[in-house]
Amino acid sequence: MVTVVQAEVARVAKGRGMTRKSGSWYLAGPETILILNLQKSNYSRRYFVNLGVWLLGVGEAQFPPEHKAHIRTRITHLVESRGRVDQLLDADWLEEHPGEEAELRETLDRVLDDVTPMVSSLDALRSERGRAFLKSWLVTGEAQTLLG
């Protein structure tokens, strides 16, 4: 059974033209692939939204797994209200509070509005704004070398 969290993430991803494969959503560009991954907790019906960027200059791929992405973070590292986002990603809580899924959608859209242009090209990632943006992301050595 699909949870409300899964449904809302799918709704946002589809609305952005992302392609689904193996529990992740992908948005491919000429130099990068943005990965949105929904990970379920092993201990509850709570979810984590992981974001990754695959750099095609480091290696060709069509649907790379998020955990192997060259640049990675969780959505909670990109928002001010981390506790609130954790609450919105709890399927049990969200099902007990009908109507709150709209806030989850808005939060996902807001984060993706910020992320998508910053990770869409190597030039954007190399820019001063891009470098500041990446301070809240894990960046592999290969990515650091490519980005200079």
Q: Please compute the mean of the pLDDT values over residues 48-67 and round it to a whole number.
A: 97
Q: Give pLDDT, residue 27.
A: 98
pTM of the shown model: 0.96
- Using CA atoms, how far residue 135 sits from 66, 72, 106, 129, in Å, is 18, 11, 24, 10
CA distance 20 to 61: 15
Q: What is the pLDDT of residues 91-117, one digit of tens each?
A: 999 999 999 999 999 999 999 999 999
CB 41 within 8 A of CB 47: yes
For residue 38, what pLDDT is reported? 97
